[in-house]
Amino acid sequence: MVLKKKDIRALTKEQLREFFKSHGEHAFRGNQVYEWLWQKSAHSFDDMTNISKETRTKLEEQFVINHIKVDQLQRSSDGTIKNAVRLHDELVVESVLIPSKERTTACVSSQVGCSLDCKFCATARLKKMRNLNPDEIYDQVVAINNESELYFNRPLSNIVFMGMGEPLMNYNNVLKAIEKITSPEGLGMSPKRITVSTSGVPKMIRKLADEEVKFKLAVSLHSAIEEVRTSIMPFNATFNL
């Protein structure tokens, strides 16, 4: 029986350090690999040039590095770039780079499909298939940052969670992704430049308040009239304004 390899990016830095110690190597190798995975976005173990070939082979035998793939890229006349992003299990989500005079903004997805059934949203027709994990969210930001530098010669300045899915229904993974995005060991982006958009999930909004998060929260109203909002957002019948 062939054992399925684990995605190495599921390991914390401390777990990587312990892995190397348990295999008779210096713990600091874990720090080096962690840097390659997150700050340098290595796509293969062979990219890790300060790690010995023997060690890279050991890693390859036990782990994989799952990455998203930009399957299709469309550019509009105003410079907006729309990506079809293929995940490691072949499911597809969308991400968008929105340029303006002062900034470049990444619009990222948090779920494959969505369960809220909003009448105006194309994602609702897909229904929810699964949550994105933190790495898949993080990778969307990395890919869009690369596009921003390639096409506009400047790094990404802002992130909005307004793509596919309801971010607060993937609460833990979204927060883990933001933690990585804002960490000096990740992309080092200020949380003040990140906005999470929600249709309005009261329990999760209260939880965000309790955790005193630093990023911004936007509530998508679409209508301030209860009857109209319920007609286009059935979710509102349970959690109204």
Instruction: Quick: pLDDT tens for 30-60.
Output: 999 999 999 999 999 999 999 999 999 999 9
pLDDT greater than 90 at residue 210: yes
Superfamily of domain 69-237 in CATH is Aldolase class I (3.20.20.70)
Q: What is the mean pLDDT of residues 104-119?
A: 85
Strands, E assignment, the chain: 6-7, 63-64, 69-75, 81-86, 92-99, 104-107, 111-112, 130-131, 158-161, 194-198, 216-219
Per-residue pLDDT at 113: 84
pLDDT greater than 80 at residue 123: no
pLDDT-derived band of residue 199, with 50, 70 and 90 as boundaries? confident
Task: Estimate the crossing angle of helix 134-152 against helix 171-182, to 10 degrees.
Answer: 40
Q: What is the mean pLDDT of residues 136-151?
A: 96
Q: What is the mean pLDDT of residues 134-145?
A: 97
By CB atoms closer than 10 A (0-12, 13-18, 19+), residue 89 is exposed
Residues 6+ away with beta carbon under 8 Å from 137: 108, 109, 110, 173, 174, 177
3-state secondary structure 199-233: CCCHHHHHHHHHHCCCCEEEECCCCCCHHHHHHHC
**Dihedral through CA 63, CA 67, CA 69, CA 70, nearest 10?**
-170
Task: Enumerate the CATH 1.10.150.530 domain ranges in the chain, comma separated.
Answer: 6-64
Q: Which of 53, 55, 66 is nearest to 132 (CA)?
A: 66
Q: What is the pTM of this model?
A: 0.88
Min mean pLDDT across 112-116, 124-128, 180-184 is at 124-128
What three-state secondary structure class fits 81?
strand
Share of the chain above pLDDT 90, in %: 74
Q: What is the CATH topology of the domain spanning 6-64? A: DNA polymerase; domain 1 (1.10.150)
Task: Enumerate the CATH 3.20.20.70 domain ranges in the chain, comma separated.
Answer: 69-237
Q: What is the mean pLDDT of residues 51-71?
A: 94
Q: What is the mean pLDDT of residues 92-118?
A: 90
pLDDT-derived band of residue 1, with 50, 70 and 90 as boundaries? very low
pLDDT-derived band of residue 72, with 50, 70 and 90 as boundaries? confident
